A = this chain, B = another copy of it.
């Protein structure tokens, strides 16, 4: 039997930590629903040839096989590595039963067999929100779906996040207007600005993509434009490149930035960052990456964009636009750093103390009365001395202990303050702040990380 030990890349949360994840998922879900997005869950497996479609990701797929399969049996199923591939398949499979544009959100784990590091796990939960059309999907849905994620993340008690937008049409139109032929290759090189100094990237553009030094210089100038409003439009125009697709991209990006700024509160910043490309080839318009203040080392904590062919069955094409938030990537480090914690590891607000084992029925009746009014509670496991029962509650973070007195009256003690008062199980209600476990944030830590 294998030794009991954590599996690298498969983080697990303790009960109080799990409160953080549950509350975050509940908050995200509630926001998505307020915007009219329906929840779905897909099966976790897909045919391998569908998962491997993207090419570059196939090395990270976990394939499945029954333990007693024939030795030469070919594995046919793998675990999904994101929520986009299964969503595209779900749309194709169930298209006859869906209304388009179809608005869905999905919060599920995904799996990748890659080397684990902070923020990158082998099993990780994502929250995705997408709108998919049949044959066409008007651009205003780009603004809509991005605004929804801005709204959703702005409601979370996490460090401030930054949405950094760009637009593929803008980049492609600019490169085309400059006279660069291999736009895709140029984007791939510019994407290396993350890791390489600008002059090296310029050299690569000349040597690998075949641009002139002047073209390379313009590409770099475009890529350094980063503003928190729509002033990028003027800055791009000042570079003197004209192209129809570029104009369309500028207009779209300006609409996304304006629309998202309108719903962004204090905790979310919205920027046009013309260096953002996102490596994946299928984006065709809006692209976004999301970063968290103090956690830039995680790279993006979310991202997405517009894909004009999310799915296709040969006859019908389904364009989509969506954005994904890395729930595990964000929360596991925040919890590990003590930035977020659960207020207590149990849902119980009160421990109903036990005088003797024979009084269990009386204490159970008190608990039932409290539960009938939605007060979570539990009866003490043993009729220990009251001091011991109070310490039992204390260790679990249960704030109140309930005593059934010998004369049949009741008292409830707030074990934090020591206050003990008479109470009636048919009417007693704790303060709302105590009712359920909540997320505790160390605001200081959040500020320090900025």
Q: Which positions in A face B, CB cutoff 8 Å?
A: 1-2, 4-7, 10-15, 18, 21-22, 33-45, 47-50, 52-53, 58-68, 75, 77-79, 89-90, 92-94, 97-99, 101, 103-104, 109, 113, 123, 138, 140-141, 144, 263, 313, 345-348, 357, 360, 368, 371, 374-379, 381-382, 392, 395-396, 436
Provided the pairs A48-B67, A66-B59 are in contact, do residues A36 and B313 lie with their beta carbons within 8 angstroms?
no
B37 near A347 (CB under 8 angstroms)?
A: yes
State the CA gap A264–B39 with chains docked (Å): 32
A40 near B18 (CB under 8 angstroms)?
A: yes
Among B10, B41, B368, contact of A45 (Cβ-Cβ < 8 Å): B10
B residues within 8 A CB of A348?
A: 36
One complex includes copies of this chain to the number of 2
B50 near A61 (CB under 8 angstroms)?
A: no
Provided the pairs A6-B93, A79-B64, A113-B66 are in contact, do residues A378 and B45 lie with their beta carbons within 8 angstroms?
no
User: Which among A7, A36, A44 has the highest number of chain B CB atoms within 10 Å?
Assistant: A36
B residues within 8 A CB of A11?
A: 43
B residues within 8 A CB of A375?
A: 34
In the complex formed, the residue of B with least CB distance to A350 is B36
Q: Smallest Cβ distance from A261 to chain B, in angstroms?
A: 13
What is the interface of chain A mostly: helix, strand, loop, or mixed? mixed
User: Which among A34, A144, A378 has the highest number of chain B CB atoms within 10 Å?
Assistant: A34
B58 near A62 (CB under 8 angstroms)?
A: no
A103 near B346 (CB under 8 angstroms)?
A: yes
B67 near A63 (CB under 8 angstroms)?
A: yes
Among B37, B59, B360, contact of A67 (Cβ-Cβ < 8 Å): B59
Q: Smallest Cβ distance from A68 to chain B, in angstroms?
A: 5
Among B368, B371, B396, contact of A99 (Cβ-Cβ < 8 Å): B396
B residues within 8 A CB of A13?
A: 40-41
